A = this chain, B = another copy of it.
C-alpha cells in the first residue's frame, strides 16, 4: 500500500456490458466509465436530455489532471490552480511537514504565491490526445505464435509506439490495453513536475468520521486541497480550465464526472472471479490486516508515532474496507448469479453459430487455464511483491526502483519490464531524486514487519528469507538496513549511482540496494512467468470474449477502467437502504449535530477552527452530496460538472454499495460521494480567510 492509495485513489470494480443483464437492466442507465475519445452521446441525451459536442468534451478533458500518486484533479483557474481531494494530496502534504509543523494536522494556506510550497516528487499529467493503435500492436504478432510469444511481441510493439510518439509529439506517451486485450489506444499527456501546495484544511475536517464513516453516507467531509501547477518556474497559464458554477446543484440534476478510475474487473469471466475470491483477495487481505494491526500498535506507543503513521494507517484501513467489500461481493450469491447469467448468455450466443464457435468458444477455458497456471506460483510471487517492491517503506521503494532501473536499462527498451521503459525515465528520476524526509524509526518498523511477513510466507529456512535476514532477527536486521543505507538515504548519492548500470549496482555496498538485489532476481523470474503464463494467455482470450460481446451487443460498450480519463454521468439522487430513505444532500449544520452525537470519539471531534468559528458558518450550506455516476478508486479528486461544464462538486468517496462496483454497477444503491462546491467556497471564505482563493476560483469577491 502506497501512502495515498486510499478511498477512491485505488480500487477495483467490473462492469457488465449493457445489453443482456436481466433483472437490473432497467436501473443501469447511469452505468459506465466511458472512453473520453468515444463519449456515449446518445446515452447522455437519453438520460440527461442534452447533447454535448466534441468541443465541450475536449475543453473538460484538457482541464482535467491525472495525479502521479494515483488520483484525479482539475484545473480551476486561469493561473493553473489545481483542485483535488485532501486525501489525494495528503502524501505530499505529509512530506512538506516537519516535526514542528504538521501540515496534515494544522492545515495550510499560502498567503502569497511566494509562500506556495513545492511538493517533492509530485507530478501531474494532462491528457492531450488519444489515438487508436490496435492494428499496429496486433500486427506485431507473428502467425503461429504461442500466447507467451504474442504477449511479448505486443508489449514490445507498445513500447516502440510510445518511444516514437514521445519523440514525435513531445508528449508523454502511453499505450493502454482496453477490454483486457481487444483494443490498444495511445494516450498522450502534457506532464508537469513543479506542483506547489496552496491550501489544505485540517485532516480532521477533510476526513471527519475517520475509518468508521469511510464509504458511508451521510457524510460531512471537506475533502479538498489546492495545488498550483508551475511551468518554467511560473504559474501555468493553461489553455483550458473549469469555471465554477454560480448556483450550485439541485437534487435530481444531471451531473458529469471526469476522472481516472483505476481498475475494474467487470469483464472478468466466472473462473477469473473465482480466482480473485479464493486466492488473490484472501492473500491481499491477510497482508492488509497485518499491516493495519502493526500500524495501530506502532501508533499506540506514543503520540509522535501516531502522528508519523497516521496517513499510512488511513491508507491501509481504506484498503481493508475496499478489499473486504469486494470479497463480500464475490461471496454474494445474487451477484454471482447475475455474472453467471450474463456469461451463460454470451457463451450460448457464441455456441449457437459454428463460425463464432470456431473463433471464440475456447476463450473461457483459456482464462480458466491461466488461473490454474497462476495458482501454481501465486503465493510465492505474491510474497515477492507481484511486480511491486516486496517490502514496505519509502527507503526500500527507492532502493528497489534504483536497482531495477539500473538492471533493466542493460536490456533493449522493448525487452524491459514495462514500467522501466525509456518514456517513463523522467517520472522515475523525479521519484529517485525527490528531496523527501524519512522517518527512520517508522522505516525500520515497516522493514521489520516486511521481513517477518516474508519469513511467514516463505518459511524461515527459505533461501530468499535467509539472505534477506542475513543471520539476524527481523528487528535487528531492519535497524542495520536503515542505518547503513548510505546511498539510498542521500539524494546526492542516488544521483551519482543512477546512471551506473548493472556492474556498479551489483557491487554497491548500500544495505538496501543489496537487499533489493537479493530479492530482485527471483521476483523478476516470477514476473516474467506471470506475463508468459497468465497475462499473455488472458489477453489473447479476453480479446475473443470482447469480440464475441461486440458481435452480440454492438461496439457501444465501455472497457474496464485503466487509470485513464473517463466520463461518467448520472444525477444527484438519494436512495433507500434497508428501509431508510437517504437524502442526497447533507449540510454544514449536520456536521455539528453528528459531532455532538458522537461526543468523546476522537474520529468525530470538530477541528478547533470549526468549533470556534461555528457562528460564521451558514448551517444550511449543502456540504456533501451523492450522485449515480459510476466511479471507482482513482476517481478521487474528480470534478463533478453540470451540463454547462461548470464545477458543482468534487468526488471524494463512494458509498458502501459502490465497493462491489469492481464487478458490477447497481444504480439503485451505488452512489458516488462529492463535496459540494458551495461548501468549499463558503468554508474557504469564512473559516480559512482564503478570500483571494475564493476570488480566483469563482471570479467573485
A607 contacts chain B at the CB level, 8 A cutoff: no
Question: When each residue 258-289 of chain A gets 1 if its CB lies under 8 Å from chain B and 0 otherwise, what string results?
Answer: 00000000000000001001100110011001
- Give complex CA distance A459, B274 in Å: 8
Stretch at the interface among A196-204, A218-226, A327-335, A404-412: A327-335
Question: Which of chain B's residues have a CB closer than 8 A to the CB of A281?
Answer: 456
State how many angstroms separate the Cβ of A411 from the closest Cβ of chain B. Answer: 35
Instruction: Identify which of residues 454-497 in chain A touch chain B, using a CB-to-CB cut-off of 8 Å.
Output: 455-457, 459-461, 469, 471-475
Contact of A300 among B212, B303, B474 (CB under 8 A): B212
**Contacts A285-B456, A289-B292, A289-B293 given; does A603 touch B331 at CB 8 Å:** no
Contact of A459 among B277, B334, B473 (CB under 8 A): B277
A600 contacts chain B at the CB level, 8 A cutoff: yes
Instruction: Identify which of residues 588-619 in chain A touch chain B, using a CB-to-CB cut-off of 8 Å.
Output: 598, 600-603
- Give complex CA distance A248, B282 in Å: 53
A331–B474 touching, CB < 8 Å: yes
B327–A601 touching, CB < 8 Å: no
A327–B282 touching, CB < 8 Å: no
State how many angstroms separate the Cβ of A300 from the closest Cβ of chain B. Answer: 4
State how many angstroms separate the Cβ of A291 from the closest Cβ of chain B. Answer: 9
- Give complex CA distance A293, B323 in Å: 13
- Give complex CA distance A456, B475 in Å: 30
A211 contacts chain B at the CB level, 8 A cutoff: yes
- Give complex CA distance A286, B282 in Å: 10
A460–B330 touching, CB < 8 Å: yes
B469–A331 touching, CB < 8 Å: yes
A210 contacts chain B at the CB level, 8 A cutoff: yes
- Give complex CA distance A300, B285 in Å: 19
A328–B452 touching, CB < 8 Å: yes
A472–B333 touching, CB < 8 Å: yes
B328–A274 touching, CB < 8 Å: no
B282–A457 touching, CB < 8 Å: yes
Question: Which of chain B's residues have a CB closer than 8 A to the CB of A290?
Answer: 285-286, 289
A507 contacts chain B at the CB level, 8 A cutoff: no
Q: Whose C-beta in chain B lies nearest to the C-beta of A290?
A: B289
Contact of A328 among B303, B332, B475 (CB under 8 A): B475
- Give complex CA distance A274, B455 in Å: 11
Instruction: Identify which of residues 187-212 in chain A touch chain B, using a CB-to-CB cut-off of 8 Å.
Output: 210-212
Query: Interface residue tally of chain A, by bracket?
Result: 35 or more
A278–B460 touching, CB < 8 Å: yes
Instruction: Identify which of residues 331-390 in chain A touch chain B, using a CB-to-CB cut-off of 8 Å.
Output: 331-334
Question: When each residue 149-180 of chain A gets 1 if its CB lies under 8 Å from chain B and 0 otherwise, what string results?
Answer: 00000000000000000000000000000000
A300–B456 touching, CB < 8 Å: no
A296 contacts chain B at the CB level, 8 A cutoff: yes
**Contacts A212-B300, A300-B211, A303-B601 given; does A456 touch B327 at CB 8 Å:** yes
Question: Which of chain B's residues have a CB closer than 8 A to the CB of A474?
Answer: 328, 331
- Give complex CA distance A628, B64 in Å: 66
A700 contacts chain B at the CB level, 8 A cutoff: no
Question: Which of chain B's residues have a CB closer than 8 A to the CB of A297?
Answer: 211-212, 321
- Give complex CA distance A479, B301 in Å: 37
A320 contacts chain B at the CB level, 8 A cutoff: yes
**Contacts A289-B293, A300-B211 given; does A331 touch B473 at CB 8 Å:** yes
State how many angstroms separate the Cβ of A607 from the closest Cβ of chain B. Answer: 15
**Contacts A212-B300, A300-B603, A601-B303 given; does A277 touch B331 at CB 8 Å:** no
State how many angstroms separate the Cβ of A119 from the closest Cβ of chain B. Answer: 30
Q: Whose C-beta in chain B lies nearest to the C-beta of A458?
A: B278
State how many angstroms separate the Cβ of A330 from the closest Cβ of chain B. Answer: 7
A303–B452 touching, CB < 8 Å: no
In the complex, which of the residues A297, A469, A475 has the most CB atoms of chain B within 10 Å of its own CB atom? A297
Q: Whose C-beta in chain B lies nearest to the C-beta of A473?
A: B332
- Give complex CA distance A211, B296 in Å: 10
Q: Whose C-beta in chain B lies nearest to the C-beta of A279?
A: B459
Question: Which of chain B's residues have a CB closer than 8 A to the CB of A601?
Answer: 303
Q: Whose C-beta in chain B lies nearest to the C-beta of A466?
A: B333
A274–B461 touching, CB < 8 Å: yes
B286–A460 touching, CB < 8 Å: no
Question: Which of chain B's residues have a CB closer than 8 A to the CB of A210?
Answer: 300
Contact of A460 among B331, B334, B603 (CB under 8 A): B331
Question: Which of chain B's residues have a CB closer than 8 A to the CB of A600?
Answer: 303
Question: Which of chain B's residues have a CB closer than 8 A to the CB of A473?
Answer: 328, 331-334
State how many angstroms separate the Cβ of A109 from the closest Cβ of chain B. Answer: 26
B293–A320 touching, CB < 8 Å: yes
Question: Which of chain B's residues have a CB closer than 8 A to the CB of A327?
Answer: 452, 456
Question: Which of chain B's residues have a CB closer than 8 A to the CB of A330?
Answer: 460
B459–A278 touching, CB < 8 Å: yes
Q: Whose C-beta in chain B lies nearest to the C-beta of A300?
A: B212
Question: Which of chain B's residues have a CB closer than 8 A to the CB of A457?
Answer: 282
Instruction: Identify which of residues 114-164 in chain A touch chain B, using a CB-to-CB cut-off of 8 Å.
Output: none
State how many angstroms separate the Cβ of A451 from the closest Cβ of chain B. Answer: 8
Question: Which of chain B's residues have a CB closer than 8 A to the CB of A471?
Answer: 333
Question: Which of chain B's residues have a CB closer than 8 A to the CB of A328?
Answer: 452, 473-475
- Give complex CA distance A471, B333 in Å: 6
- Give complex CA distance A460, B603 in Å: 35
- Give complex CA distance A459, B280 in Å: 11
Q: Whose C-beta in chain B lies nearest to the C-beta of A321?
A: B297
- Give complex CA distance A472, B600 in Å: 37
- Give complex CA distance A461, B297 in Å: 35
Q: Whose C-beta in chain B lies nearest to the C-beta of A332?
A: B473
Q: Whose C-beta in chain B lies nearest to the C-beta of A455?
A: B331
- Give complex CA distance A457, B283 in Å: 10
What would 23 A/B residue contacts be, using CB atoms closer than 8 Å?
A210-B300, A212-B300, A274-B459, A274-B460, A277-B460, A278-B456, A278-B460, A282-B457, A286-B286, A289-B289, A289-B293, A293-B293, A297-B321, A303-B601, A328-B452, A328-B473, A328-B474, A328-B475, A331-B452, A331-B460, A332-B473, A333-B472, A602-B602
Q: Which 6 A-B pairs have the closest CB atoms?
A: A278-B459, A289-B289, A212-B300, A282-B456, A332-B473, A289-B290
Given contacts A278-B460, A281-B456, A331-B452, 9 further A-B contacts (CB under 8 A): A211-B300, A278-B455, A278-B459, A289-B293, A293-B293, A297-B321, A300-B603, A328-B473, A331-B474
